[in-house]
Amino acid sequence: MGFFAARQPILDRHKSLFGYELLFRTSLDNVFPDVDQEKATSKMIEVLQFDLGMDRISEGKLAFINFTEKTLLGGYAELLPKQKIVVEVLETAKPTKSLFLALQKLHNKGYILALDDFVHDERWTPFYRLIHIIKIDYLEATTEEINKTIAAARKYPHIKLLAEKVETNRQFKEALNLGFDYFQGYFFSRPEVIKSISLTPAQTSVAGLLNKVAAEEPNFDEIAQLFELDVTLSFKLLRYAQSATFKRRNPIKNIKQAVLMLGKVELQRFVGLLFAAQFSSDKPQELIRLSMQRAKFCELIAPHCNQSNDSSSAFLTGMLSLIDAMLDADLNAIISDLPLSQDIKLALTQKQGWLADCIALCIDFEKGIWHKMEDSCKRLNIPYTGILKEYQIASDWAEDKVNEFS
């Protein structure tokens, strides 16, 4: 049985990362409840413990994991460490005495319990003393249902509310005002306010560098000159080049020497980090990490698309795919002002070309939209059974790089 995994970030009221919901499937066209539940959950636990690794996929944050009624009654949750997971009771579960006893046992052992896609029902009231988090589908639930659940939860101060499928900043602020504590969705990657914007000189410099290093045959003299025009960029380049990662025989004497020592690939990554830091200084770190992950993932899948010579453009396209959220500005206006190739511009603004398909694949994977992901794989001629490894490599790389710059 093959296994696919996506993770969706859960942020707190300050837009700091609180945890990830992990979405697992046995194929791109089967959802979890459609397969044998015990077998699927056993495989999920095996993958977390021995293959992907709990810490590796959740980056040390809490992992929200769905459990069906049958797997809860079977005690499957106890096979995972209580300090690392949140046990989500799926909405298909019934409030039976046997389920209450199973959840009571988990509660007494210190597991964090959550009710998923929940709408208040009096039959669940006895369970509330065991529950730590109630998840409400902010997109599908009616205002009446949301208010009803909030009112019921307020009688139990220990219960935290989590709004899922929050896709816009307006929805985030509404949920915040209603008293929600945690938020799941991609509101943090949407512009808070659409506005026109003028790039600062520093941002323009980094954008110019991105374009230069993405060229098939970069002109290192021109790249060195761009660094030399900005003292801050020069300092960061020298500090990066002095990292223990690079084995130097001689001390670095000038900017061009540092540029040549890094070479195209590492220089591209370094400028990508500069870009993420420069354009999203006041944004949630998850937004920076996601842009880096998309960049690396696009770079890794480019060879599958017979575009191995253009992996730099794929990297840059992935990096720029969240530029509108970083600047809170209109995407078309930003991209038109940047010195980018026509292929990259068409991918980002018109969703045309193989680069656009790469971005679509990233987004579908992030959200766990498996059938769309399969369509993207077919268009790109990528064997979808093998891309999980590439996605995990991209995720690990992005996490490491963000930590370096944080």
> Residue 118: CB partners within 8 Å, gap ≥ 6?
91, 124, 134, 135, 136, 149
Q: Is the pLDDT of residue 269 over 70?
A: yes
d(CA 25, CA 34): 10
Q: What pLDDT shows up at residue 263?
A: 85
pLDDT tens-place string over residues 332-383? 877 877 767 888 899 999 999 999 999 999 988 888 887 788 788 888 888 7
pLDDT at 30: 38
* For residues 324-328, average pLDDT: 82
Q: At residue 86, does pLDDT exceed 90? A: yes
Residue the block writes with tokens 């490491």: 400
Give 114-148 pLDDT, tens digit per residue: 999 999 999 999 999 999 999 999 989 999 999 99
60: left (phi over 0), alpha (psi -120 to 50) or beta: left
pLDDT at 148: 95
Bigger pLDDT: 393 vs 51: 393
Q: Which residues contact 356 (CB under 8 A, 6 or more apart)?
A: 346, 347, 348, 350
Tokens of 265: 């690939």
- How far apart CA 3 and CA 23 sit, in angstroms, is 10
Global pTM value? 0.75
Read off the DSSP letter of residue 88.
E
CA distances from 294 to 221, 317, 342, 362, 365 (A): 29, 9, 20, 6, 10
Average pLDDT, the chain: 82
- 31-45, 201-215, 269-283, 322-336 — most confident range: 322-336
Pick from 103, 116, 124, 118: which is nearest to 149 by CA? Answer: 118
Model pLDDT, residue 56: 64
Let me know the angle formed at the C-alpha of 321 by 57 and 333, rounded to the nearest 5 degrees: 155
How far is CA 221 from each of CA 209, 230, 232, 258, 352, rounded to the nearest angstrom? 12, 15, 19, 12, 33
pLDDT digits (tens, 9 = 90+) for 27-65: 444 343 344 555 555 566 666 654 455 666 677 789 898
Q: Give 86's strand partners.
A: 64, 112
Taking CA atoms, 125 is separated from 89, 133, 155, in Å, by: 15, 14, 10
What is the DSSP-derived secondary structure letter of residue 195? B
pLDDT at site 184? 94
Q: DSSP string of 105-124?
A: HHHHTT-EEEESS----GGG
